[in-house]
Amino acid sequence: MAGDSDRADTSLLALQPFYFFQLGNGLYFRGAPIWAFNLETNNYHVPIGLGVGKVIKSGDTVYNFFIEPQFTILDRGPGQPEFQIYMALNMRFKG
């Protein structure tokens, strides 16, 4: 249980399986969905994802960008998403 005594308790378990497959030349397939389980209400959300990413170096900066559609395969409870898009741009600067 988590939370202050003046608020409702929270009991959430989050798991994040991840998988990456390098294709060469900075291109890769990926998946990193977050599975969420509410241990008090027994609600849950279990997506799977398969996305594509690319790593590019320009000067001293390395760019890593990806897009990953995620589809829900198991869920229980109100408000659980059926489909999500996870995307990001990460940059590493010379330090």
pTM: 0.81
Please tell me the predicted confidence (pLDDT) of residue 23: 98
CB atoms closer than 10 angstroms to residue 67:
13
Tens of pLDDT along the chain (95 residues) come to 555 677 777 799 999 999 999 999 999 999 999 999 999 999 999 999 999 999 999 999 999 999 999 999 999 999 999 999 999 999 999 87
pLDDT at 39: 93
Torsion of CA 14, 77, 39, 7, to 10 degrees: 100
CA distance 82 to 71: 6
